Amino acid sequence: MPEGDTIFRAAQTLQRALAGKPVVFFESMLPALDRVEITGRTIDRVSTAGKHLLMHFSGDLVLRTHMRMNGSWHIYRRGERWQRPRRDMRVVIATDDFEAVGFSIPEAELIATRDLRRHDDLRKLGPDLLAEAFDAGEALRRLRERGDTAVADALLNQRVMAGIGNVYKSEVLFLCRINPFTAVQSLDDTRLASIVETARRLLRANVSEGLAAMTTYAGFRRTTRRDDPQQRLWVYGRARQPCRRCGTSIRVKAQGTDARLTYWCPGCQG
């Protein structure tokens, strides 16, 4: 599943290509998007709210999309060959110069701007880790409320903090030296605050304006600060390989109701 940094960078790229330009062509395979005329509207801006991408059009209209597990936005020059088959296309939004193509997007809707604040999914989001006005205190409070929930599961709850996915869940807890199966209530505020700070630092470090990425951009995301692509992550995806710090074999286990894979080092994280 794309995480908050992926969606943020997709929005950055779409913003650079489309903002301020009128839509000259619109097509969708999703019936919910056929109810309002999009062609002729100007794309005012593209923003994010956690893992939700929001494309704002003139006339107080917003297209909200959520990628879930397999969705992605691509940007192409007009006439350029798509990198995925047309059968995967769900939305096309074209200007004179570019076309944005949403592939395999499972969740999309058009919302009046005035209704954004009342939107059920958006209003329940926790503090957005990539927002300029991120409220660390509120994130800490919401994390503390998870009580007997395993801390790794709590981090995936977008109502606690918006933007963390499975990769960052494992990487953040490794850097904080916290066992992912520890109940939140067993951690003091200092350790919980370190989780919040580390999560925000890692996500912000991976949304450079200098890089363009429309899909999962797995080859770009780094948490180790190492340039070698083979050494970009501490534990995620490294089951049975030696820990980069202590040499202990990295473990992996399905966790939570959705059986998401959690990676951790028994030596560094207990």
Which active-site residues does the annotation give? 2-3, 51, 260
Burial-class residue 193 by CB neighbours within 10 Å (0-12, 13-18, 19+). middle
| CB distance 37 to 52 below 8 Å | no
Measure CA 139 to chain center.
Answer: 17
What is the Cα–Cα distance from 186 to 151, expressed in whole angstroms? 9
Helices 189-205 and 136-144 sit at what angle, rounded to 10 degrees? 130
**How far, in Å, CA of 118 to CA of 267, rounded?**
46
Measure the CA–CA gap between 234 and 223, rounded to whole angstroms: 7
Instruction: Round to whole Å and give the CA distance between 221 and 171.
Output: 11
